[in-house]
Structure 1
Amino acid sequence: MLLLAGTAQAANVELPRGISWTAFGTTSSGYAQSVGIGQMLKSKYDSNLRIIPGENDVARMVPLKGGQSHICACGIASYFAQEGVLMFADKRWGPQRLYSLFNNVGNNGQTAAIAADAGVREVADLKGKRITWLKASPANNTNMAALLAFGGLTWDDVEKVEVPGWKQSMEAVLNGQADAAWASTLSGPLNRLAASPRGLYFPQLPHDDKAAWTRAQAVAPWFAPSRVEAFVKGANVDGPYEGMNYPYPLFVATAAAPDTLAYGLTKAIMENFDGIKDAGPSMSGYALDRQFLSYIFPYHPSAIAYYKEKGTWTEADQAANDGLLKRQDVLAEAWQAMLKRDLQGEAFEAEWMKVRAAALEAAGLPVIFR
């Protein structure tokens, strides 16, 4: 929320005296990163950051929808909000217009943490293995589905082991109840697995296997080929390897975000990278040269203005951005038509997914979620 009309200026950066954004809970790395950024904003621009913690995906979006905040330091579930799917297929939500400002694209990876004794060396070897499925965690399960697709597999090709949460998924692998679970390559519990009799293994995702990447990104468009340089010890990989990552947090803004805020904040983060890179955990990904400028959200016009100034915004980025804006238009039009239907609850959500798919297909755009 913008607290005062007054601004603090430094190097053509104009920021309000007060800024707020939503973030993961107070124990998360995303919250800690926000604290580090807030210290820089205060010292450099005399701008006070208010961090609004949200313990789940919907809670982090509520202040944006209600106008209490214009920005979210979100996880990948913000993409579900843009698409109007899963928890955002509810009649009270629908597709949200969100715009990227900048992201933290770290040098870690996201992958299947596989017990080394399971005999898996590439993703296709997961066929018939026991894979954890987290209840009420569509992002986690979709990530694993995309990884399986990389190897030409689906959930039907593996044994699904249902667990109530991520902590239990790690314990299931450690205790021999499962063979693989979704994790960051730097997740703390993986140290226990690596040191256990089962051991730990991360599969490589060769970047030149275009067909495999096409299959994976058809399930999870946010999958991005990455050189994985940071991982727990004992993962049975030799140095940096070809894998996958996606940004965390993703800093997204609503259309109501003022141009001066979108431009000023983007510039402040990019040009003060040296001042924030050690201010919190895993902050190396805020560097300008690590930004994904053709990704899953269109960029805010004022953020684009900054990237153009720096010479990093390309014609290909603009074409991708135009396509993403078109996608948001198609979804918004379909949602307005859907709201005229006299349906409630699960019946509304089921019909919306059909209407949504039909609208995207008619526009020649990938459906992704059905």
Structure 2
Amino acid sequence: MKTTFRSVAIAVLCAGPVGMPLAGADMPTTLNWTSYGTGTSANAQIMAISQLLQTEYGTQSRVIPGENDTMRMTPLKTGRVDLCACGIASYYGSEGVMMFARPDWGPQPIRVITTSMAGFGLGMAVAGDVELETLADLKGKRLAYLRGDDALNKAAEAYLAFAGLTWDDVERVDFPGYNAAFDGIISGRADAAITTTVTPAAQRLAASPRGLQWPVLSADDTAGWERMLDVAPYFQPHTVTSGAGIDQSAPLASASYPYPIVVSNADLTDETVHGLISTMVESYDDYKDNAPGASGYALENQNMAWVIPFHDAVVDYYRDTGIWTDAMEEHQQALIARQTLLMEAWQRYKSDAPENEDAFIEGWMEQRRSALQSADMAPVF
């Protein structure tokens, strides 16, 4: 279902003494980044690895913290930053959907440098007093829907699909935001919501009178995974060892996708990307314990056949080190062809698109679907 190996991460911010560059390295004096806000694990990881980049290359990093997807992705789109330690919005940007279907966005030429898959998962948090033997028992239960949060609502849809359910099979309860949804579960107004296993919201539910349980998603349930990936192909089976109510000695079979996802645009220089990926892989032991979740960049955690193409220089590095296979190359070229098709379809559509934003988005999604289906590619959205 996926192809993985062993890797590493990327960096940010630093001030302090500049170390001696590695022999033969051709890294810039400064890297500009955008990332999640201060206090997040993604930001802490980038800070830790940036120190390593400065020591090894003399490269300093400047980081712009972004509190939402727009704030993180816009500087990459405009060329203000070289790299983004992003979330799954990077995939939506590559596909030109959700917020990226608006007239000022469209499909983006995004390339992966590396990703992190730590011990936590993205799961369906269900109140502990709900009778639940399998995920299918969510039928008829009250599931939180977060207004304005397309990513988590899509994840909820994917979890339902795993069990052969849709939103029509549950009672949808709308909430204005993430924390409000968990307040709603605790107070008895809802029964379940999507969250990462390590969030304070999940901890609050676990400590409440209702308690917390996590449905199991067996990696052996081929049909369930096919349904889930039809809805959200970026998910993958994941053994969860960290989170509310999860015992590391009895891990949870669940699902997740990488966080953060370190991406650039396709035109970031090969020299810069080669310096990044080689440092991330070869100096992994030097930073893996320096921030929570940094061990998630291990090479065995890298999915070499995921949903966003790698940067050419990353492919070259994996090829030179004997990791890259013909099957990986075939998948990579298919992803590039898909992205190219979407970007060309966007340019054609924009030349005669309606001015009204709602009509623009509706027309683009139809144009996008038609273009992908004509090329025997799944629209997904």
TM-score, normalised on structure 2? 0.91
Q: 1:326 aligns with which of 325, 337, 340?
A: 337
Structure 1 CA distance for aligned equivalents of residues 190 and 249 of structure 2: 25
Paired residues for 1:66-105 under 5 Å:
66-105=78-117
Asked whether the equivalents of residues 146 and 174 of structure 2 are also in contact (C-alpha less than 8 Å), the reply is yes
Matched, 1:190 2:202: yes
Q: 1:63 aligns with which of 75, 80, 93?
A: 75
Q: 2:119 aligns with which of 99, 104, 107?
A: 107
**Cα 1:237/1:302, change in 2 over 3 Å:** closer
Residue in 1 that maps onto 2:215:
203
Q: What displacement does 1:183 show?
A: 1.0
Structure 2 CA distance for aligned equivalents of residues 271 and 186 of structure 1: 29
Deviation digits for residues 95-119 of structure 1, max 9, x if unmatched? 0011111101112211101111111
Higher relative contact order (CA 8 A, sep 6+): 2
Q: Amino acid of the residue matched to residue 335 of structure 1?
A: W
Tell me the SS of whatever aligns to 2:71.
helix
Asked whether the equivalents of residues 200 and 236 of structure 1 are also in contact (C-alpha less than 8 Å), the reply is no
Q: What displacement does 1:256 show?
A: 2.0
Q: Amino acid of the residue matched to residue 217 of structure 1?
A: L
Structure 2 CA distance for aligned equivalents of residues 207 and 243 of structure 1: 8
Between the aligned residues of both structures, percent identity stands at: 41
Q: Amino acid of the residue matched to residue 126 of structure 2?
A: I
Asked whether the equivalents of residues 372 and 379 of structure 2 are also in contact (C-alpha less than 8 Å), the reply is yes
Matched, 1:311 2:322: yes
Structure 2 CA distance for aligned equivalents of residues 366 and 341 of structure 1: 25
Structure 1 CA distance for aligned equivalents of residues 24 and 212 of structure 2: 49
Asked whether the equivalents of residues 80 and 86 of structure 1 are also in contact (C-alpha less than 8 Å), the reply is yes
Residue in 2 that maps onto 1:287:
298
Residue in 1 that maps onto 2:307:
296
Q: What displacement does 1:13 show?
A: 3.7
Structure 2 CA distance for aligned equivalents of residues 185 and 129 of structure 1: 20
TM-score, normalised on structure 1? 0.94
Residue in 2 that maps onto 1:117:
129
Matched, 1:171 2:183: yes
Q: Amino acid of the residue matched to residue 186 of structure 1?
A: V
Residue in 2 that maps onto 1:350:
362
Tell me the SS of whatever aligns to 2:34.
strand
Q: What displacement does 1:182 show?
A: 0.8
Structure 2 CA distance for aligned equivalents of residues 75 and 204 of structure 1: 24
Q: Amino acid of the residue matched to residue 273 of structure 2?
A: A
Deviation digits for residues 320-348 of structure 1, max 9, x if unmatched? 11110110111011111101114111111
Structure 2 CA distance for aligned equivalents of residues 68 and 191 of structure 1: 37
Deviation digits for residues 197-247 of structure 1, max 9, x if unmatched? 211111111111111111101111111111222222x35897013211110
Residue in 2 that maps onto 1:131:
143
Asked whether the equivalents of residues 21 and 55 of structure 2 are also in contact (C-alpha less than 8 Å), the reply is no
Structure 1 CA distance for aligned equivalents of residues 226 and 258 of structure 2: 19
Tell me the SS of whatever aligns to 1:299.
coil
Residue in 2 that maps onto 1:224:
236
Residue in 1 that maps onto 2:273:
262
Point out where structure 1 has 5 or more consecutive residues left out of the alignment: 2-6
Q: Amino acid of the residue matched to residue 368 of structure 2?
A: R
Q: 1:341 aligns with which of 352, 355, 368?
A: 352
Structure 2 CA distance for aligned equivalents of residues 269 and 207 of structure 1: 29
- State the number of aligned residues: 363
**Cα 1:220/1:114, change in 2 over 3 Å:** same
Tell me the SS of whatever aligns to 2:200.
coil
Structure 1 CA distance for aligned equivalents of residues 220 and 293 of structure 2: 27
Q: What displacement does 1:195 show?
A: 2.4
Matched, 1:276 2:287: yes
Q: What displacement does 1:84 show?
A: 0.7
Q: What displacement does 1:259 show?
A: 0.4
Structure 2 CA distance for aligned equivalents of residues 109 and 115 of structure 1: 17
